[in-house]
Amino acid sequence: MLKLEISYRAVFAAVFAIAALWAFVRLWPVILLVITAFIFMAALLPYVEWLIRKGLPRTAAVLLLLAAIIAILAGLFSLVVPAMIDEFQNIRENLPENARDLEDLLGNFGINVELEQRARDFDWADLISGRAAFDYGQRVFAIALAIITIIAITIYLLIDTPRISGFIYQFVPAGREADAKRILESLGRVVGGYIRGQVITSIIIALYTLVMLLILGVPNAIAFAVLAGFADVIPLVGAFIATAPPAAAAFQESPARALAVIGLMALYQQFEDRILVPRVYSQTLNLPPLIVLIAVLAGGELLGIPGVLLALPAAAAGRVAFDYFMEQRNRAPAVVAETIAPDEPPPGP
């Protein structure tokens, strides 16, 4: 007979673990916002501390830095939004003609489809009104609310950094304050490295897109280059966002230019995913390129877009924890062996 005895403590621990897992799953969207805010806080904290050393109060330093970032982003968006509106209007007005050109282009490859008639029968009202417009409005509102929430949490974290640090150090065992400080500084450098790596890849794709579109003679090249830089931040769908608008603008000139844009952007995406990202992040995060590539693939497979966003910071944080563990292991006190001499009679007088 098999007799199984479970203590009340074990039952309580199992119930608590199940409840914690259920709460984690339910609160995952909120947790993701908080993690994102912590990432931005760690990336901006060195600049806030620099402004404080220059004599600004902490609150003024935080607000000044965020105001400068928002102003820069607003200026970049002012370049992108008018170009996107013009491009949408051009597509709407010239859709039948563009469909006929695409139909002729595909016919050269033996692909016969009736695109022109479908373009003439397309009802734009179904795209921008009714249920579709309501769904788009909900998504835009949810994204805007998430961005505002992240900004608010980031401001709070930057302003209350000393208080939050004091709260964390309450749980640090006595004598371990120096180790905790070193770990937190390492994590801050990791997050800063992640943000720097993303800025580098965004600048590179923006410059590449700008040069390519200028050579091909595509209008609104600067706006599309800025859009590509922003889209590079978005995993999985960022490549489509960076490619579709300039390809549509190039198609207004000729189908061959549109194909050139699509092909060159696809080629760059392969270069960025396989070569650039692993090498850039291996330098900024102090991780081997192979680990960077595996972390991105695993994060996307497990959690989709959030997984790709959090994969590299998580891998770098794991590297910090591993380095600390190995340091503590190598610091273990060595056993001092004592030489035992054989018993000898004491020397005579």
Which single residue is written with the structure tokens 């179904």?
126
Which single residue is written with the structure tokens 């709070």?
156
Tokens standing for 241? 């966002």
Band of pLDDT at residue 341, cut at 50, 70 and 90: very low
Does residue 335 surpass a pLDDT of 50?
no
Does residue 117 surpass a pLDDT of 80?
no
Out of 3-17, 19-33, 65-79, pick the least confident.
3-17
Cβ neighbours of residue 191 under 8 Å, at least 6 residues apart?
38, 39, 42, 43, 313, 316
pLDDT digits (tens, 9 = 90+) for 138-166: 777 888 888 889 889 999 988 988 888 77
Cβ neighbours of residue 299 under 8 Å, at least 6 residues apart?
307, 308, 309, 310, 311, 312, 314
Task: Tell me what the mean pLDDT of segment 89-103 comes to.
Answer: 73
Band of pLDDT at residue 339, cut at 50, 70 and 90: very low
Task: Tell me what the mean pLDDT of segment 280-290 comes to.
Answer: 74
**SS3 per residue for 174-234:** CCCHHHHHHHHHHHHHHHHHHHHHHHHHHHHHHHHHHHHHHHHCCCCHHHHHHHHHHHCCC
Residue extents of the structural domains in the chain: 23-94+127-168, 176-328
Does residue 334 surpass a pLDDT of 50?
no
Of 44 and 137, the structure prediction assigns the larger pLDDT to 44
| Alpha helices by DSSP H, the chain | 8-26, 28-53, 58-108, 115-121, 124-128, 130-159, 161-169, 177-216, 221-231, 238-253, 255-271, 277-284, 289-303, 305-330
Task: Tell me what the mean pLDDT of segment 89-113 comes to.
Answer: 71
pLDDT digits (tens, 9 = 90+) for 202-242: 999 999 999 999 999 888 889 999 999 988 887 667 788 88
Tokens standing for 107? 């016919």
What is the C-alpha radius of gyration for the chain, rounded to an integer number of angstroms?
29
CA–CA separation, 183 vs 44, rounded Å?
A: 18
Tokens standing for 197? 């790596």
- Among residues 305, 302, 142, which one has the least CA distance to residue 234? 305
Of 329 and 145, the structure prediction assigns the larger pLDDT to 145
CA–CA separation, 49 vs 179, rounded Å?
A: 21
